[in-house]
Every structure is written in structure tokens, then in C-alpha cells.
């Protein structure tokens, strides 16, 4: 009796989780199948979930520049993909280069003003980024950074969260290890490179993933700072297309696939680091 009740509970719990996962993933699955449907097929009731005929035509229209009767049709998704890739990659690399050493310094190196600066950084987390956006735009206009890649990348490099994240992870490295290396006469740079950095490798991967996804998905600032369509990042380009082509379900779904698939794959490949970074190593299996 007790055994059957427990079995029943097990089945119910597992079914509930599976159903929840199904509902959560349904929009993604539908996004993919609709993107392969022939034009206007999704505008039917009941909504079809499987294409009657699989076709690449939406991707072709979206990605390939065509000239029809002298008029150029180009959604500029491929350049936007390139821009996004370039901006996210540079943002990630520069972000790591800037914040990992700084996070280490705040955790392990003694310097004047450290505690005061740390307090200021924590306090700064409360200020919403939008407060600085308007003057930043004017500032970048004076510096001729509006409409440039640097203008998109620069604000993201002020990684207060990243510094605190690295600092937190670095605190768990025993001081004795670093002190022993100092007694052996190793310079601070060498200690950082040969002792600290290898220990911080998993955290660095996690942070890299945070930075890359943050930059890839960023919308408001690129929307403000980029005026030239040729410099648009994917989210800005997709938002622009979606305003004109709200009714073209299949085309918009293809655009959504192009935007989300790279990050979903990246996340799947590195999910151990991402979720592990959030869990802080406290949960297994």
C-alpha cells in the first residue's frame, strides 16, 4: 500500500516536471517548425505544428540579397550576424582581460583604498544603467563613437558585476599558496599567470559565457547608439524587420531561429559552467 503510493507520487512528480519542460520548450520547437513552413501556412486554425512541406524559402528570403526588377531586397541579417559575432567576441575577450585581473586584485592584493573602492562598486550596482545612457550618448557623440563598434562595446566593459563575481571566486584560493610563491621570489605577474589563472579557469569560462550572452542579447544600448543599418546587431535588425513584417510569421520565425540558435547551442555546450556558476558548486546531479 505504502509502496504503491510512493510509486504513484514518483510518477506524478516526474510527469509534472516533464510537462513543465515541454511547455517551456514548446515556443522554441514551434519557432523551428514554423520557420520551415511554406509562406502563410502558419496563418491557419488550428495552428499547424508540423510543416506540410519542409522548405528553406524563408531562410533564403531572409539571408540572401536579391535584385528583383532593379530593386534590391536585403534584410541585412548576414551582416548583422557578423556584427553581433564580432561585437560579442571582442566584448567577451576585452571584458575578461579587464575584469579577471581586477577581481583578483580586489580579493588578494593589498592596496590603499581597496575597501573603500569595493564599497563604491557594490553601491554602484543599485544605479540602473539607464540613468547613464542619455549623457553617455551625448558624450559618445562628442568623442565620435556614435554609430561605431567601439561605441557599442565600451559601456559593456564597465563590468562591476564581473569584478565582484571574480573576486568572490578568488577568495576561496588559499593565501598560503600565493604567499609561498612570493617567498620563492615569484613576481606578482607570474603569480597571477601561473598560479591564480589556472585555478580561476572554470570561473573564467562561466564569466566568458555571461559576457558573450549579455553582449549578444543586448538591445537597448545598440538600438540607441547605432544609426546605420549596416552596423546593426542581430536584435536591433530583427526588431526593425519585425516592425515591417509583423504578419510574415514564417519569415519572422526564421529570423528568431537565426538569432537564438547560436546562443542556445553555446549554452547547451557549456551549460555545466553556466548553471554550475550560478549554483556555486552546492548542488550535484
Residues 246-275 touching another protein, rule: CB under 8 A, are 246, 249, 252-253, 255-256, 259-260, 263-264, 267-268, 271, 274-275
Beta bridge partners of 68: 71
- Of residues 187, 193, 201, 230, which one binds another protein by CB under 8 A? 187
Query: Which three cell numbers mark 29?
Result: 520547437
Assign 250 to helix, strand or coil. helix
**Segment 50 to 89, residues that bind another protein, using CB under 8 A:** none
- Of residues 14, 119, 172, 194, which one binds another protein by CB under 8 A? 14
| Strands 66-68 and 71-73, bridge-based pairing | antiparallel
**Segment 91 to 130, residues that bind another protein, using CB under 8 A:** 98-99, 101-102, 104-106, 109-112, 114, 117, 121, 124, 126-128, 130
**Segment 125 to 184, residues that bind another protein, using CB under 8 A:** 126-128, 130-139, 154-155, 157-160, 163, 182
Alpha-carbon span 18 to 28, nearest angstrom: 16
Q: How buried is 55 (Cβ within 10 angstroms: 0-12 exposed, 13-18 middle, 19+ buried)?
A: middle
CB of 68 to another protein, least distance (A): 25
CB of 237 to another protein, least distance (A): 9
CB of 93 to another protein, least distance (A): 14
Q: ∠ CA(221), CA(25), CA(284), 5° rounding?
A: 90
207 lines the binding site for another protein (CB under 8 A): no
DSSP single-letter state for residue 195? I
Give the number of C-alpha atoms closer than 13 A to the C-alpha of residue 119, restricted to the C-beta side.
4
Alpha-carbon span 163 to 141, nearest angstrom: 28
CB of 69 to another protein, least distance (A): 29
Q: Candidates 43-51, 56-64, 65-73, 197-205 — which segment interacts with another protein by CB under 8 A?
A: 43-51
Amino acid at each position: 500500500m505504502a509502496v504503491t503510493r510512493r510509486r504513484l507520487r514518483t510518477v506524478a512528480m516526474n510527469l509534472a516536471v516533464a510537462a513543465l519542460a515541454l511547455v517551456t520548450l514548446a515556443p522554441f520547437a514551434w519557432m523551428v517548425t514554423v520557420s520551415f513552413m511554406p509562406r502563410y501556412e502558419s496563418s491557419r486554425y488550428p495552428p499547424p505544428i508540423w510543416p506540410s512541406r519542409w522548405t528553406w524559402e524563408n531562410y533564403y528570403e531572409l539571408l540572401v540579397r536579391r535584385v528583383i526588377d532593379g530593386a534590391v531586397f536585403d534584410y541585412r541579417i548576414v551582416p548583422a550576424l557578423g556584427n553581433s559575432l564580432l561585437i560579442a567576441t571582442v566584448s567577451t575577450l576585452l571584458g575578461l582581460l579587464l575584469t579577471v585581473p581586477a577581481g583578483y586584485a580586489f580579493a588578494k592584493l593589498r592596496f590603499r583604498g581597496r575597501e573603500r573602492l569595493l564599497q563604491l562598486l557594490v553601491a554602484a550596482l543599485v544605479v540602473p544603467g539607464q540613468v547613464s545612457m542619455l549623457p553617455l550618448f551625448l558624450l559618445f557623440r562628442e568623442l565620435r563613437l556614435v554609430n561605431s563598434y567601439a561605441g557599442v562595446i565600451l559601456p559593456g566593459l564597465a563590468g562591476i558585476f564581473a569584478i565582484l563575481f571574480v573576486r568572490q571566486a578568488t577568495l576561496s584560493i588559499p593565501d598560503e599558496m600565493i604567499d609561498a610563491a612570493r617567498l620563492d621570489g615569484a613576481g606578482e605577474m607570474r603569480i597571477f599567470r601561473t598560479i591564480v589563472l589556472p585555478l580561476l579557469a572554470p570561473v573564467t569560462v562561466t564569466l566568458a559565457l555571461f559576457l558573450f550572452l549579455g553582449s549578444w542579447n543586448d538591445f537597448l544600448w545598440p538600438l540607441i547608439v547605432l544609426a546605420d543599418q549596416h552596423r546593426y546587431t542581430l536584435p536591433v535588425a530583427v526588431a526593425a524587420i519585425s516592425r515591417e513584417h509583423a504578419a510574415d510569421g514564417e519569415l519572422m520565425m526564421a529570423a528568431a531561429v537565426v538569432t537564438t540558435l547560436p546562443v542556445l547551442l553555446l549554452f547547451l555546450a557549456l551549460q555545466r559552467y553556466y548553471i554550475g556558476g550560478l549554483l556555486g558548486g552546492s548542488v550535484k546531479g
